[in-house]
């Protein structure tokens, strides 16, 4: 089980308190009507799925309830850092 640092609670808590939120920094299109099929495909379905450094969202569901971002190595599952939602990609 992963031990995850919540940047809001500033505590290391067990994975069962959190829900995974998928890849981070995927911006919702500002003008959906102007999107091509290719843009929609990219926004909805294409994922980086890297072997290594991954930016991802987590939600501290059984804690503060807030979304935050994390950088995790997908080979070792080790967290490099977590940071608050809205902050720049690291």
Quote the CA–CA distance of 83 and 36 in Å, as a whole number: 32
29 Cβ contact partners less than 8 Å away, ≥ 6 residues apart: 35, 39, 43
Query: At its nearest, how many Å lie between another protein and the CB of residue 41?
Result: 4
Our finding on whether 62 is near another protein (CB under 8 A) is no
20-49 positions binding another protein, by CB under 8 A:
20, 22-23, 37-38, 40-42, 44-49
**First CA to last CA distance, the chain:** 24
Q: Which residues bind to another protein, rule: CB under 8 A?
A: 1-2, 15-16, 19-20, 22-23, 37-38, 40-42, 44-51, 54, 56, 72, 74-77
């Amino acid at each position: 089980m992963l031990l995850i640092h919540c940047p809001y609670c500033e505590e290391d808590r067990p994975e069962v308190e959190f829900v995974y939120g998928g890849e981070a920094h995927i911006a919702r299109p500002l003008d959906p009507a102007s999107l091509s099929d290719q843009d929609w495909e990219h926004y909805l379905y294409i994922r980086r799925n890297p072997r290594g450094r991954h930016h991802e969202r987590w939600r501290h569901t059984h804690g503060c309830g807030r979304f935050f971002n994390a950088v995790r190595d997908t080979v070792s599952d080790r967290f490099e850092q977590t940071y608050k939602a809205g902050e720049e990609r690291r």
